[in-house]
Amino acid sequence: MDTQPPSFFRLTAEGVEVSVRLTPKSSKDAVEGVAETADGRCHLKARVRAVPEDGKANKALEKLLAKWLGMPTRDVSLVTGATSRLKTLYIAGDPQALAQRLLSARQEKV
């Protein structure tokens, strides 16, 4: 039986939902690839310089993912996890094109 590896994103009708583990107060803003938790769930690893106060780190994450994907910041929004390290973000756009770009995160660090 051929099974797909766990994924850190899910296609929707008009975009994708991405699971992200955010590290705030970092020395740099970066997307660092994909990691898997002990229970088998995957997430995109990201770090931002912003502090986790008043939503600053969440806004910095939205900007970072938009820049990384080459799209406007308005197309990236936080769905869940405002006060947690594990977050879900919605990215509006062509689901298939976004999926291709997100899959490249398994091989690269940005």
pLDDT band at 103 (very low <50, low <70, confident <90, very high): confident
Checking if the pLDDT of 84 tops 80, the result is yes
Q: Tell me the residue length of the chain.
A: 110
Cβ atoms 92, 69 nearer than 8 A: no
43-57 average pLDDT score: 96
Checking if the pLDDT of 29 tops 60, the result is yes
**pTM greater than 0.85 (yes/no):** yes
Rounded to whole angstroms, how far apart are CA atoms 22 and 58?
9
| Residue (of 40, 44, 45) closest to 4 by Cα position | 40
pLDDT of residue 2: 40
